[in-house]
Structure 1
Amino acid sequence: MTKTLFFLSVFASGFAFAQEDLLKDIDTIQTKNTETSPPAFKALQIVTGQSTKLSAKNEWYVVIAHRFGDVSKGFKDFFGLDDASTKLGVIYGVTDGLSLSLSRETNLKTFEGAAKYKIVKQSENFPVDVVGYNVMAINTDLSTDNYPHLKFGDRLSYLTQALISRRFNENFSLQLTPSYVHKNLYEPMIEDKDQFLAGLGGRYKISKRISINAEYFVNFDNHSFYKNPLSIGMDIETGGHVFQLLFTNSQLNSDIGYLTNASGKWEEGQIFFGFNLYRVF
């Protein structure tokens, strides 16, 4: 694992510097309000969990997120390359403080619609950014063969989050993410209908275009079938987009699936490699 991360760091550094003539100075932020702090995060996600960054007014983002299979299965599944899950999505900035998104993930054939909105911005007068995030998901993979009395409402699940971040300096930011998940259809032997989680994530900048990110969520659900999601990643900033490489114990890309259905054990090498790619228009 250490050798892999080292290789990715070297590769990413060379990739970023090779495109220096194409890059905009992302760290230079012009604003009429000089008391307002720059964003705590450069990407819309810390790793898989959401960050307090929003798209600007009238900006369109195309999002491609990919998670390969469990690397611990070894050469049999070509270290996870034979078993992958992909999410495609779009995000639109309605205003500078409100964005709407729609995505679809191949795993469980899940559609998610979300709204992300600024509540308070960090400034000299307020110590943190506060952003709200609400999701409604539709699981289209459910079948009446397994659930004879299945209704449309059974396919729905909901997520509410408060994203609370602070940019401590140019290189270091932290975020606290209290979360609530409600599932209309659930398995009572392995999970609860209502689940409460608390997440902590951070970003540390190691060069002009690269940062190391990490996040961990504690699920206070009384059952223990699923694991707490733990992820580490790397942001690579290039002209027009942010590219993220990551390792996680949750293969699902959807917000609700990532938080509540992590199955891998880090201590046993059950890890999923993946990436997030954002392209802004």
Structure 2
Amino acid sequence: MTKALLFLSVLTSGFAFSQEDLLKDIDTIKTNTEISQPAFKALQIVTGQSTKLTAKKEWYVVIAHRFGDVSTGFKNFFGLDNASTKLGVIYGITDAVSVSLSRETNMKTFEGGVKYRLVRQNDNFPVDIVGYNVVAANTDLDKDTYPHLKFNDRLAYLTQALISRRFSDKLSLQLTPSYVHKNLYEPNIEDKNQFLAGLGGRYKISKRISLNAEYFVNFDNHSFYKNPLSLGVDIETGGHVFQLLFTNSQINSDIGYLTNASGNWGKGHIFFGFNLYRVF
């Protein structure tokens, strides 16, 4: 475990210090001094969404990996042999509205999303408020298992309110009430409608690096799946925002992450992963 983490640390350090600063203007206060600096530098806190949006006409390409259970040990190289991959694109229609499309290996899930700013933190208002809506299609479902399967059965929906506050140059926190609806679900292990509340934060430790964490409580009455808990590190590099993380959910689609976390932190059943953003 120690050798694997040392190898990854050396690898990412090379990324961080071999390129020029990507988002040098992110921390710059705008001409209108009433507008606060953004609470987060990345579009995600760890796996959950942050209140940051893309700029108008700006494209992001997203590559995310969640490897296997690190507790399997050296046999599977601490989970690195078993990766779930997510590829996506995000486009800023305006500075306040962006759209996204992604596809993940796990459950072969396609997700389309829209993210929109409702209120920005300023001298007269204490928080940023951003809305986020997702529709997902699980294309892994087949008629051999579900003979009467219809396309509508593959769909699930997510609605979130992202409420963040930048308390200082170093500390930002976010509250994320969430609602998930699944058209097809297993009633013995989950509910059709699920309500969650998330708390996340970022603490800046240097110009390029911050420590991030997030936790979601699922108020679903069933207990088969776990509440998602994730810890991460943001690294700003030239042309990239790079996030290293540990989480108890191998699934990194928005809905799957929130409702299908299976790992147990107390037993060491966690997954290493990363998010990589490229801006165009």
TM-score range, shorter chain: over 0.9
Q: CA RMSD in A?
A: 1.9
- Closer, same or farther in 2 for the Cα pair 1:23/1:55, shift >3 Å? closer
Alignment of 1:161-200 (within 5 A): 161-200=160-199
CA deviation profile, 1:94-153 (whole Å, cap 9, x unmatched): 000000000000100000000000000000000000000000000000010000111111
- How far apart in 2 are the matches of 1:193 and 1:152? 17
Q: Give SS of 2:75's match.
A: helix
> What's the offset of the Cα at 1:170?
0.7
- Per the alignment, residue 150 of structure 1 pairs with 149
- How far apart in 1 are the matches of 2:193 and 2:124? 36
> What's the offset of the Cα at 1:26?
3.8
- Per the alignment, residue 39 of structure 2 pairs with 40
> What's the offset of the Cα at 1:253?
1.1
Structure 2 residue 112 is matched with structure 1 residue 113: yes
Indicate conservation of the 8 Å contact 2:244/2:274, yes or no.
Answer: yes
- How far apart in 2 are the matches of 1:23 and 1:257? 30
Indicate conservation of the 8 Å contact 1:13/1:210, yes or no.
Answer: no
- Per the alignment, residue 67 of structure 2 pairs with 68
- Per the alignment, residue 273 of structure 1 pairs with 272
- Closer, same or farther in 2 for the Cα pair 1:7/1:78, shift >3 Å? closer
Q: Give SS of 1:95's match.
A: coil
- How far apart in 2 are the matches of 1:14 and 1:170? 26
- Closer, same or farther in 2 for the Cα pair 1:2/1:170, shift >3 Å? farther
- Closer, same or farther in 2 for the Cα pair 1:96/1:37, shift >3 Å? same
Counterpart amino acid of residue 89 in structure 1: G
Structure 2 residue 86 is matched with structure 1 residue 87: yes
- How far apart in 1 are the matches of 2:164 and 2:193? 25
> What's the offset of the Cα at 1:75?
2.1
- Structure 1 segments unaligned to the other structure (5+ residues): none
Tell me which moved more, 28-37 or 172-181.
Answer: 28-37
- Per the alignment, residue 134 of structure 1 pairs with 133
- Per the alignment, residue 104 of structure 1 pairs with 103
The size of the alignment, in residue pairs, is: 280
- Structure 2 segments unaligned to the other structure (5+ residues): none
- Closer, same or farther in 2 for the Cα pair 1:50/1:23, shift >3 Å? closer
- How far apart in 1 are the matches of 2:13 and 2:232? 14
TM-score of the pair, normalised by structure 1: 0.95
- How far apart in 2 are the matches of 1:24 and 1:278? 12
Overall identity of the aligned pairs, in %: 80
- Per the alignment, residue 219 of structure 1 pairs with 218
- Per the alignment, residue 244 of structure 1 pairs with 243
CA deviation profile, 1:43-84 (whole Å, cap 9, x unmatched): 000000000000000000000000000011112222112211
Indicate conservation of the 8 Å contact 1:86/1:107, yes or no.
Answer: yes
TM-score of the pair, normalised by structure 2: 0.95
- How far apart in 1 are the matches of 2:260 and 2:104? 14
- How far apart in 1 are the matches of 2:76 and 2:8? 21
Indicate conservation of the 8 Å contact 1:249/1:271, yes or no.
Answer: yes
> What's the offset of the Cα at 1:156?
0.2
Q: Give SS of 1:125's match.
A: coil
